[in-house]
């Protein structure tokens, strides 16, 4: 035989037996106490991670929903505020106008009353004046008539005196 | 590439061994003292000595750990220390148990009075010794059990709510990688059933590849580059594949559907052969790749002794480191390939209703 079979490629029975034994031990021990819990834990972890991710996604959506809700509320509040302000302004204007009108009315009434009073006083004064003038005329006439024509000049003088007296009054 | 290179080296070594056998005695039978080594260096022999199994575990210089030798002969079981098989200079000597035993090229043989091999008695000799490889394997089994029971305990203790810690965080991505990239594409919904086997295969090969790269105790045994070891693992895949094989699988082997009858008859032996070739290819791929790496590293280191110049180490050492790093990668890749092909073969066997036939 030119090429002997190299001893490297001849499997030793002993090593085959020991390898089989070692591998079976490994299969049994690790299969029971190693791989099973590890694989279980890993798949649990993966499950946990995917669950967490799903939850996070859900929470994120909820947060977005809340945010948009808030925004809507904010807009509504803003609108309401504007509305209230507008109404307040209207009420204010209305009140001012009413007050103005009332004041105007009151002023007009006062003016009217005053005018009335003035008129009344004026009329009373005129009547009083008329009465006094009449009275004076009567008095002067009486005195003139009493002296009866004594002297023309005297008469004249007297008249003049009387008139002066009137003036004095 | 590396495999091809290693096979070349193996064949060249065969030739040189054959020639040597004609001209002189094999290296082990010569007095293998220091002076002798300096005079004439048998590189191929030294390399082969390093990558093969051994009955004692060489540590340094003249120190080595003797390992128990367990022999089964027709006279019964026998256990003795491997120290009895060699003298203080590590040369093989004859030990007289039930038979006179002597190590010849690393294997224990029954010898005659004159020192020649008693072929007839050696055939009945079964060697179940705790060799270097067996001890290395037991160490790796212990390591795996310690590591993975520790990791499993960590999962139990901290639960799955917290992030993985320490070694757990190193192992977890690897396991997920094996599950998602190796097992799931091949095995589909049956992944969980075969995951323990795939993980066992992967980590058992990987840790032994790594231990093989470490050049000193407790590494250094070329276990995953030993054909007996790879053969055993391939045998497991073979058995699991064929035991779990569904009707469709067997139908595709013995009576390929959709073909004319003569072709069916023609394909039957080919497909049947394929069943075994799958296992053989698994065996040889792992064996050749790992052995090739060891041979490469050893060859590079041997260059220093071939050139008999320490200056050669300037080139050799960086190269060795480079190959060592590649070996680190190859160690992972080969474990991955073995696991993936196992998953693929099992997946093909358990698959129902093949639509197209996969030929691999």
Q: Which of B160, B172, B196 sits opposite A27 (nearest CB)?
A: B196
Average pLDDT estimate for B77-106: 80
Residue of B18, B78, B137, B154 to mutate when probing chain A, most A C-beta within 10 A: B137
Alpha carbon distances (Å) from A40 to A125, B143, B159, B273? 123, 22, 11, 39
Q: In terms of Cα–Cα distance, which of B133, B119, B359, B311 is closest to B228?
A: B133
Q: Which of B138, B196, B197 sits opposite A22 (nearest CB)?
A: B138
Task: State whether B101 and B140 are in the same domain.
Answer: no
Strongest mean pLDDT among A1-5, A139-143, B86-90, B335-339:
B335-339
The count of structural domains within chain B is 2
Domain ranges of chain A: 120-169
Q: Which of B113, B131, B149 is the last residue of a domain?
A: B131
pTM of the model: 0.71
Report residue A148 CA to chain centroid gap: 94
Give the confidence band of B142 by pLDDT, cuts at 50, 70, 90: very high
Task: State whether B214 and B292 are in the same domain.
Answer: yes
Contact A3 B138 (CB under 8 A): no
Contact A20 B14 (CB under 8 A): no
How many whole angstroms separate alpha carbon B289 and alpha carbon B5? 9
Does a structural domain hold residue B111?
yes
A134 touches chain B (CB under 8 A): no
Q: Which of B112, B131, B150 is the last residue of a domain?
A: B131
Contact B77, B88 (CB under 8 A): no
Q: Which of A11, A23, A38 sits opposite B228 (nearest CB)?
A: A11
- Judging contacts by C-beta atoms under 8 Å, the chain B residues touching residue A17 are 128
Task: State whether B96 and B141 are in the same domain.
Answer: no
Give the confidence band of B12 by pLDDT, cuts at 50, 70, 90: very low
% chain A with pLDDT above 90: 55
How many whole angstroms separate alpha carbon A29 and alpha carbon A34? 7
Task: State whether B244 and B312 are in the same domain.
Answer: yes
The pLDDT assigned to A151 comes to 67
Of A69-73, B7-11, B266-270, B315-319, the poorest mean pLDDT is in B7-11
The pLDDT assigned to A119 comes to 93
Residue of B nearest to A18 (CA): B134
Residue of A nearest to B48 (CA): A8
Does a structural domain hold residue B8?
yes
Of A3-17, A61-75, B233-247, B312-326, the poorest mean pLDDT is in A3-17
**B124-139 tens-digit pLDDT:** 888 888 888 899 999 9
| Beta carbons within 10 angstroms of residue B102's beta carbon | 20
Task: State whether B23 and B146 are in the same domain.
Answer: no
Task: State whether B267 and B330 are in the same domain.
Answer: yes
Could you write out the three-class secondary structure of B4-64? HHHHHHHHHHHHHHHHHHHHCCCHHHCCCCHHHHHHCCCHHHHHHHHHCCCCEEEEECCEE
Give the confidence band of B45 by pLDDT, cuts at 50, 70, 90: confident
Of A1-15, B156-170, B229-243, the poorest mean pLDDT is in A1-15
Q: Domain containing B114: what range?
A: 2-131
Does a structural domain hold residue B246?
yes
Contact B350, B192 (CB under 8 A): no
% chain B with pLDDT above 70: 86
Distance from CA of A25 to the nearest CA of B (A): 8
- Judging contacts by C-beta atoms under 8 Å, the chain B residues touching residue A8 are 10, 48, 51-52, 227, 291
Of A31-40, B150-159, B241-250, the poorest mean pLDDT is in B150-159
The pLDDT assigned to A148 comes to 64
Task: State whether B20 and B90 are in the same domain.
Answer: yes
Task: State whether B121 and B197 are in the same domain.
Answer: no
Contact A15 B228 (CB under 8 A): yes
Q: Is B68 exposed, middle or buried (0-12, 13-18, 19+ CB in 10 A)?
A: middle
A42 touches chain B (CB under 8 A): yes
Task: State whether B168 and B301 are in the same domain.
Answer: yes
Q: Which residue has the higher pLDDT, A41 or B235?
A: B235
Give the confidence band of B14 by pLDDT, cuts at 50, 70, 90: very low
Q: Which of A25, A30, A42 sits opposite B196 (nearest CB)?
A: A30
Average pLDDT estimate for B40-53: 79
Distance from CA of B311 to the nearest CA of A (A): 33
Task: State whether B115 and B138 are in the same domain.
Answer: no
Does a structural domain hold residue B164?
yes
Does a structural domain hold residue B355?
no
The pLDDT assigned to A110 comes to 93
Q: Which of B10, B51, B137 sits opposite A18 (nearest CB)?
A: B137
Mean pLDDT, rounded, of chain B: 81
Average pLDDT estimate for A116-143: 89
Q: Which of B90, B116, B131 is the last residue of a domain?
A: B131
Does a structural domain hold residue B324?
yes
The pLDDT assigned to B97 comes to 79
Residue of A nearest to B235 (CA): A20
Task: State whether B307 and B167 are in the same domain.
Answer: yes
Task: State whether B161 and B69 are in the same domain.
Answer: no
Angle at A95 between CA A94 and CA A97, to 5 degrees: 65
ipTM associated with this complex? 0.79
- Judging contacts by C-beta atoms under 8 Å, the chain B residues touching residue A41 are 152, 155-156, 159-160
The crossing angle, in degrees rounded to 10, of helices B132-158 and B191-213 is: 130
The pLDDT assigned to A2 comes to 46
Give the confidence band of B354 by pLDDT, cuts at 50, 70, 90: low
Q: In terms of Cα–Cα distance, which of B180, B194, B181 is closest to B347?
A: B194
The pLDDT assigned to B313 comes to 85
A48 touches chain B (CB under 8 A): yes
């Amino acid at each position: 035989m030119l090429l002997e079979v190299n001893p490297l490629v001849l499997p030793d029975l002993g090593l085959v037996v020991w390898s089989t034994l070692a591998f079976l031990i490994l299969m049994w021990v690790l299969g029971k106490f190693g791989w099973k819990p590890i694989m279980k834990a890993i798949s649990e972890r993966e499950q946990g991670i995917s669950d967490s991710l799903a939850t996070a996604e859900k929470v994120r959506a909820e947060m977005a929903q809340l945010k948009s809700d808030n925004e809507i509320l904010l807009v509504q509040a803003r609108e309401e505020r504007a509305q209230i302000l507008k109404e307040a302004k209207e009420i204010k204007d209305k009140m001012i106008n009413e007050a103005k009108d009332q004041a105007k009315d009151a002023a007009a009434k006062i003016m009217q009353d005053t005018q009335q009073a003035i008129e009344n006083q004026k009329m009373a004064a005129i009547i009083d004046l008329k009465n006094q003038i009449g009275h004076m005329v009567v008095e002067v006439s009486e005195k003139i008539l009493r002296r009866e024509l004594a002297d023309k000049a005297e008469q004249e003088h007297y008249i003049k005196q009387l008139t002066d007296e009137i003036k004095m009054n | 590439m590396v495999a091809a290179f290693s096979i070349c080296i193996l064949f060249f070594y065969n030739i040189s061994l054959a020639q040597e056998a004609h001209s002189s005695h094999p290296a082990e039978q010569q007095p293998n003292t220091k002076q002798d080594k300096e005079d004439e260096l048998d590189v191929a022999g030294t390399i082969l000595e390093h990558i093969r199994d051994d009955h004692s575990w060489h540590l340094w210089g003249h120190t080595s750990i003797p390992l128990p030798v367990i022999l089964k002969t027709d006279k019964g079981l026998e256990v003795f220390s491997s120290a009895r098989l060699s003298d203080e200079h590590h040369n093989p000597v004859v030990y007289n148990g039930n038979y006179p035993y002597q190590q010849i090229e690393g294997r224990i043989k029954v010898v005659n009075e004159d020192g020649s091999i008693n072929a007839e008695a050696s055939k009945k000799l079964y060697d179940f010794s705790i060799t270097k490889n067996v001890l290395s394997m037991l160490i790796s089994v212990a390591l795996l059990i310690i590591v993975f029971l520790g990791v499993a305990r960590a999962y139990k203790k901290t639960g799955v709510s917290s992030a993985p810690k320490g070694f757990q965080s190193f192992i977890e991505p690897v396991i997920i990688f094996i599950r998602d990239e190796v097992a799931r594409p091949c095995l589909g919904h049956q992944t969980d059933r075969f995951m323990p086997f795939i993980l066992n295969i992967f980590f058992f090969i990987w840790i032994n590849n790594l231990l093989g790269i470490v050049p000193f105790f407790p590494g250094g045994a070329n276990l995953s580059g030993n054909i007996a070891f790879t053969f055993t693992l391939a045998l497991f895949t073979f058995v699991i594949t064929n035991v779990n094989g569904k009707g469709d699988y067997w139908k595709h082997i013995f009576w390929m559907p959709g073909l004319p009858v003569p072709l069916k008859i023609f394909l039957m032996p080919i497909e049947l052969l394929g069943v075994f070739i799958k296992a053989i290819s698994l065996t040889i791929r792992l064996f050749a790749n790992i052995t090739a790496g060891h041979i490469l590293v050893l060859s590079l280191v041997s260059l220093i002794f071939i050139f008999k110049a320490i200056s050669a180490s300037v080139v050799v050492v960086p190269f060795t480191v480079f190959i060592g790093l590649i070996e680190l990668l190859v160690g992972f890749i080969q474990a991955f390939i073995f696991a993936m092909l196992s998953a693929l073969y099992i997946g093909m066997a358990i698959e129902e209703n093949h639509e197209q036939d996969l030929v691999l």
